[in-house]
Amino acid sequence: MNQVITYQSPSGATVDLTPAQIERLGCAGVWPRDFRGQEYCMFSHGLHEGDPTYSDAELSREFGVAS
């Protein structure tokens, strides 16, 4: 099991990201958005056990973030 942080968008949708994924997204200057195009901008749940929403390969494909 991985360690993830859950973020929530204003619409209530959530995304789970590992600390390494968060760092890569930050360095690339991109951030995931929900189905309405709203950024996941609020912490919903701090660091906890879970699986990330995106694999590293999906993160690279979706956001152009190198793994």
Q: Where are the domains of the chain?
A: 2-63
pLDDT number for residue 64: 86
What is the per-residue pLDDT for 30? 94
Residue 63 confidence (pLDDT): 87
Q: How far is residue 31's CA from residue 42's CA, in Å, rounded to a whole number?
A: 12
Structure tokens at 23: 């760092």
In this prediction the pTM is 0.91
Q: Are residues 67 and 60 in contact, defined by beta-carbon separation less than 8 angstroms? A: yes
Residues of the chain falling short of pLDDT 70: none
The answer to whether 21 touches 54, Cβ cutoff 8 Å, is: yes
Closest alpha carbon to 43 in 4, 16, 7, 3 = 7
